[in-house]
């Protein structure tokens, strides 16, 4: 079995643009524990008050089922006695069962960063681990810059490992701290280390040469029993080894026990939950958990997928809690349309010309700037419109949006007035909002709720604007993407225009129409009746 050591809360927090509150750290730790992570590095208690509070809270209030919280720190300061070192004392005060401390392996760092002797550095490693062991802690020793240190001075690098092992570390983790080691070289170095090391090894890789996951897998193949990394691979510079790739690669591809097998299906959920807490846009192209990881666009690919999903998928997406997506675009063939229609429960088998009509309509829309990859709802409505099966739920008679700025207060005010007709009944209403789009959205809902009360449970989750032809300057077309959701589902819609209000209106209307269309299809309700 290979133990998973998560350092998201400490090493991951050093990522550009990331800052965890105490509440964030608690939520992430609970999610990691639920997932089945073995070790959660809670932070560096000697570096800031927030981490000390976290360890205190974890000890008193968190009843973890699978994970063990680990306190992180460094070896003692040069010239200090370990018992008097503030950093080591803070680790002891955290009252965890396990500590992880790092020390210098590379003689360059010993001389220029620590400004001490090579011999003193060995004593710092040995004294620090022995002190923590005497206090009853198990110790993981992170050999910082190990691979660079090994290349520069092999004999000394191995001596640092001997010092850690002799002092009682239960695991020595070899760190590619600069992230520049390639897998073949890393393999050869670990094979040399194994000839001397008596203590079980771990691997901690950074991604500066895009090899962190590969190096972690090589480390395990060469006998490492502990893998350190972060969720979604966040971390300093180019990031740390991505546990969302490492775990399925080990568990599914290599048949090595890591987390409980039944937890793998929650991997995608964990990845996206973390992105939400960290306020980071998810990486759509991330393997296994990205929204594009099992997305298929090319007609040849989709045609083959219709016959056997294994033709263009290395695993079933459900194993890691992801889902297959069939994308529709100007590259689409008949297979894309048929599979997408099946996915969205659109039945047009009786209409032999339906597929060609839909392909033609989609290609014309994409030529105008539409893109349906993240707008399934707009695609579904466009498909029904193309084959003449769609009747709008309301008719727009007109709208007006006013935006004013108060010269004295500097505040902006937006108001929208709208007139719609449902079943020949007109509704004329107005509403304000935080901005023109918000005001228009509020006015539309206000006008329609009397006829379609179910839209009250709708909410807007995301609003994105993309410039299509930037060289046209302020006259460029914009693409507005809206993600909406209700109590059960979420769906995406799109609008395109030179006018951002018009593009937003198109996407908003599609969002409402799709909600109503789906509800009527499910429940076979009649169209709008005023309450």
With a CB cutoff of 8 Å and minimum separation 6, the contacts of 181 are: 147, 148, 189, 205, 209, 211, 215
Domain assignment of residue 357, yes or no? no
Global pTM reads 0.76
How confident is the prediction for the chain on average, in pLDDT? 90
Residues 277-315: pLDDT tens digits?
998 888 989 999 998 899 877 667 767 777 788 888 999
Measured in residues, the chain has a length of 531
Pair (253, 401) in one structural domain: no
Main-chain phi, psi angles of 43, to 5 degrees: 140, -170
Tokens coding 414: 């937006």
Which of 259, 290, 323 is at the close of a domain?
259
Whether 292 is in a domain gets the answer no
**pLDDT tens-place string over residues 99-156:** 999 999 999 999 999 999 999 999 999 999 999 999 999 999 999 999 999 999 999 9
Domain end (from 242, 259, 276)? 259
* Span 426-449, average pLDDT: 93
Q: Is the pLDDT of residue 329 over 70?
A: no
What mean pLDDT comes out for the span 339-349?
A: 65
Q: What is the edge-to-edge ordering of all strands in the sheet holding 412-422?
A: 395-405, 412-422, 425-433
CB under 8 Å to 160, separation ≥6 — which residues? 103, 104, 105, 121, 122, 125, 143, 149
* CATH label of the domain that carries residue 409: 3.30.160.270
- Examine residue 177 and state whether it is found in any structural domain, yes or no: yes
Tell me the CATH number at 173.
3.20.20.70
- For residues 527 and 95, the model is more confident at 95
* pLDDT, tens digit (0-9, with 9 covering 90-100), for 486-513: 988 889 999 999 999 999 999 999 999 9
461-479 pLDDT tens trace? 889 998 887 666 666 789 9
* Structural domain count, the chain: 2
Distance in angstroms (rounded) separating the CA atoms of residues 329 and 331: 5
Per-residue pLDDT of 150-187, as tens digits, reads 999 999 999 999 999 999 999 999 999 999 999 999 99
Could you tell me the residue range of the domain that residue 25 belongs to?
3-259
**447/449 Cα distance (integer angstroms):** 6
Element (H, E) at 430: strand 425-433
Q: Other CB atoms closer than 10 Å to residue 407's CB: what's the count?
A: 7
pLDDT confidence of 344, banded at 50, 70, 90?
Answer: low
Q: Which of 259, 290, 317 is at the close of a domain?
A: 259
**Residue 336 located in a structural domain:** no
The per-residue pLDDT for range 256-273, each reduced to its tens digit, is 999 999 999 999 999 999
Give the whole-angstrom CA distance, residue 225 versus residue 106.
Answer: 23
Q: Can you give the pLDDT at residue 388?
A: 83
Is residue 320 assigned to a domain? no
Q: What is the pLDDT of residue 523?
A: 65
Asked if the structure places residue 352 within a domain, the reply is: no
């Amino acid at each position: 079995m290979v133990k998973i050591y998560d350092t998201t809360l400490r090493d991951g927090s050093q990522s550009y643009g990331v800052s965890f509150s105490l509440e964030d750290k608690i939520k992430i730790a609970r999610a990691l524990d639920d997932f089945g992570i073995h070790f959660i590095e809670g932070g560096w208690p000697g570096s800031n008050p927030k981490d000390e509070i976290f360890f205190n809270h974890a000890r008193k209030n968190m009843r973890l089922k699978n994970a063990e919280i680990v306190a992180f720190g460094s070896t003692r300061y040069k010239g200090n006695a370990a018992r008097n070192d503030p950093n080591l004392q803070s680790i002891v005060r955290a009252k965890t069962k396990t500590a992880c401390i790092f020390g210098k392996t590379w003689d360059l760092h010993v001389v220029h960063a620590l400004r001490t002797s090579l011999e003193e550095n060995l004593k710092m490693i040995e004294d620090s681990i022995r002190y923590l062991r005497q206090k009853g802690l198990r110790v993981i020793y992170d050999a910082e810059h190990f691979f660079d240190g090994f290349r520069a001075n092999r004999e000394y690098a191995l001596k640092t490992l001997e010092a850690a092992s002799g002092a009682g570390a239960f695991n020595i983790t070899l760190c590619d701290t600069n992230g520049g080691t390639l897998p073949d070289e890393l393999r050869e170095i670990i094979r040399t280390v194994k000839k001397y090391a008596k203590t079980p090894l771990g691997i901690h890789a950074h991604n500066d040469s895009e090899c962190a996951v590969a190096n972690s897998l090589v480390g395990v193949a060469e006998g490492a029993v502990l893998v350190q990394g972060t969720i979604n691979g966040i971390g300093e510079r180019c990031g740390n080894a991505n546990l969302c790739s490492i775990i399925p690669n080990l568990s599914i591809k290599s048949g090595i026990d890591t987390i409980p097998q039944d937890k793998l299906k929650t991997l995608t959920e964990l990845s996206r939950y973390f992105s939400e807490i960290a306020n980071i846009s998810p990486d759509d192209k991330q393997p296994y958990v990205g929204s594009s990881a099992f997305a298929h666009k090319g007609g040849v690919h989709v045609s083959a997928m219709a016959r056997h999903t294994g033709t263009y998928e290395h695993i079933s997406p459900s194993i890691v809690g992801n889902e297959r997506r069939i994308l529709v675009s100007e590259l689409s063939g008949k297979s894309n349309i048929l599979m997408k229609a099946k996915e969205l429960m659109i039945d047009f088998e009786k209409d032999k010309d339906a597929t060609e009509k839909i392909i033609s309509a989609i290609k014309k829309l994409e030529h105008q700037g539409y893109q349906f990859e993240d707008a399934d709802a707009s695609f579904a409505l466009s498909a029904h419109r193309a084959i003449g099966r769609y009747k709008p739920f309301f008719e727009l008679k007109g709208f007006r949006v006013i935006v004013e700025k108060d010269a004295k207060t500097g505040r902006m005010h937006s108001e929208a007035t709208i007139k719609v007709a449902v079943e020949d009944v007109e509704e004329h209403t107005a509403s304000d909002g935080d901005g023109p789009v918000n005001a228009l959205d509020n006015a539309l809902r206000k006008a329609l709720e009397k006829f379609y009360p179910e839209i009250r449970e709708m909410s807007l989750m995301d609003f994105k604007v993309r410039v299509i032809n930037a060289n046209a300057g302020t006259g460029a077309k914009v693409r507005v993407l809206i993600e909406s959701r209700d109590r059960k589902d979420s769906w995406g819609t799109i609008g395109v225009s030179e006018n951002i209000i018009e593009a937003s209106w198109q996407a908003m209307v599609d969002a409402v129409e799709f909600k109503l269309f789906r509800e009527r299809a499910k429940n076979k309700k009649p169209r709008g009746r005023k309450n």
